[in-house]
Structure 1
Amino acid sequence: MQITHLGHAAVLVEVADRRILIDPGNCSSAWRDVADLDAILVTHQHPDHVDPEHVGALIDNNPDARVYVEPQVLDAVPLSRGEGLAADDSIELGGVRVDAVGGWHAIIHRDIPQIGNVGLVISAEGEPTLFHPGDSLATVPAGVDVLAIPAYGPWAAMKETVDFVREVKAPVGFPIHDGLLHERGFQLVLGRMNAMTPTDVRDLRDGTAWTPGS
C-alpha cells in the first residue's frame, strides 16, 4: 500500500493494483490532475470533501473510475455519474474491499442539521488496512493498521481526537482535515497525538507517496 496525502481530506490510496482517491474537496487542489483512477470515494457532502466546482472534471478525466459517494451527496452535488455507498455497505474493487461504516457526520452545533457521513475502511489481502473516517469520530472499526486522523474541524476537540486515536489503536497514522490549521497549529496537533496516543503519527504534507511501515 502507498498513501499520498493531497491536502486536507484528500487521500490517494494505491493498493492491490488499484488507485483510489478519497474526498477531493475544495481546501486543496493537488488532486485535480490525478489520472488513471480506479475509484473516487466521497465520505459526505461538505465542499471540503467534494468540490462541486472541480469534481466534475476529475470524474470526466477518469472515465474508467467507479464513483461511490455517501448517498446524500447524490442530491447535494451535481455529478455526471456516481452510486450511493451507505453505512454498513461494502464494495469490491478488484482485490480491494471498501467497507462503509458509521452513518452520521459529527455534530457541529445543535442548530445545524446533521448530515450523513461514511467512514471508509480499505483493505486488501496481505496489505495494511486503512481507515478514513470522514468527519466523524463515532465509529471505531477493528483491525485498523493505518489511521487518517482529522486534525481539526469546527465539529471536533483535541480531547475527542486523542480518545478516538487511542480507541482505534492503529500502529501508524497521519493527520488529515488540516486545511484550517497554520503551521504552529499543525505541529501542536501532531505533537499531542504522538505524545498521548499509541499511534506513530507521520506528517505527510509534502505530497510524496508513503508506504506504511517504511
Structure 2
Amino acid sequence: MTDTYPTTDKTLEVTYIGHASVMFRYGDEIIHVDPYGDIADYSGLPKADLILITHHHGDHLDSFAIADIEKPSTQIIGSPLAIRELGRGQALKNGEETAWNEFRIRATAAYNRIAMRSPGVPFHIKGEGNGYLLEVANLRIYIAGDTELIPEMEKLGPVDIAFLPKNLPYTMSDQMFVETARLIRPTYLYPYHYFEVDRETLQKALPAIRIR
C-alpha cells in the first residue's frame, strides 16, 4: 500500500510494507522504519538514506534486512538497546530529539502498562523502546512502535499521519486502539503490527479519521 501526501515543500510517499515495517519517500530521500525480512525481500527495495529502529526485538531489529538496504551514507537512529545490539548508529532515548536533513525526529515513549510477559514483567518495558514523531514541512507523522495507550501520548496530537499497533497481547486491543486514535487525533491512521484488522468497524468508531 502506497499513499501520496502533498506538503508545502516536496511530496511524501508512504508505503506500508507489512508488520511494523514502513517506508517513506520524501523527494529523493528514502526512510525505512523497522525493516523486517520475514515480510518483504528488502534486497529489491530502495536503499535507505535513514533507518529508524524502534526497539531491539527481532521483528523490529533485523540486521539482515538492514544490510540489504544500507549504503555507506545511510544513517541509523534507534533506541539505545537496539543501537547497542546492532553495533552502530545514533541512539535516542525517549524524549530526545535530533535533526536529519529537513526532518525533526523525536523519540517518544513506547511500552506496556497492562500486558505482561510474566508477573511484573511487561512485554515492552518503559524506556527500552521508542516511537517516533517526525516533523517535515507542514506534516507531523507519528510512528507509535510497540506500545499500549500511555500517558505520554496526551501531548502528541494532533498529527497528520499516525501508525498505531493493534495486536493482543503485545500492544493494543481494538478499544485501546480507538481510544488512542481519539486522543492523538490523526487525519490519516494506519493500523499496523496487527494479526487481523476490521477497517470498516474501526472507521465506524472513528468517523472523523481516515483509516488506511
Q: TM-score range by the shorter chain?
A: 0.7 to 0.9
Distance 1:14 1:152, change over 3 A: same
2:157 is aligned to 142
Distance across 1 between alignment mates of 2:43 and 2:17: 9
1:207 is aligned to none
Aligned Cα root-mean-square deviation (Å): 2.1
2:184 is aligned to 168
Question: Number of residues paired by the alignment?
Answer: 189
Structure 1 or 2: more strand by fraction: 2
Distance 1:33 1:63, change over 3 A: farther
Shift of 1:34: 2.8
CA deviation map 1:79-107 (0-9, x unaligned)? 252121111111211111111111x4224
Contact kept in structure 1, 2:157 and 2:183, CA below 8 Å: no
> Structure 1: which 5+ runs fail to align?
203-214
Contact kept in structure 2, 1:69 and 1:84, CA below 8 Å: yes
Contact kept in structure 2, 1:2 and 1:14, CA below 8 Å: yes
- Choose from 119, 126, 139 the match for 2:131: 119
- Tell me: higher relative CO, structure 1 or 2? Use CA pairs within 8 A at least 6 residues apart: 1
Contact kept in structure 2, 1:16 and 1:96, CA below 8 Å: no
- Choose from 193, 198, 209 the match for 1:199: 209
Contact kept in structure 1, 2:166 and 2:173, CA below 8 Å: no
1:92 is aligned to 99
CA deviation map 1:6-41 (0-9, x unaligned)? 111111112254211111135412445433321100
> Structure 2: which 5+ runs fail to align?
1-11
Which residues of 2 match residues 26-175 of structure 1 at below 5 A?
26-52=37-63, 54-58=64-68, 61-75=70-84, 77=85, 79-102=86-109, 104-107=110-113, 108-109=115-116, 110-111=118-119, 112-113=121-122, 114-115=124-125, 116-126=128-138, 128-136=139-147, 137-138=149-150, 139-140=152-153, 141-155=156-170, 156-175=172-191
What SS does the corresponding residue of 2:18 show, helix, strand or coil? coil
CA deviation map 1:152-189 (0-9, x unaligned)? 242221111110011111111112102xx2xxx32x2x
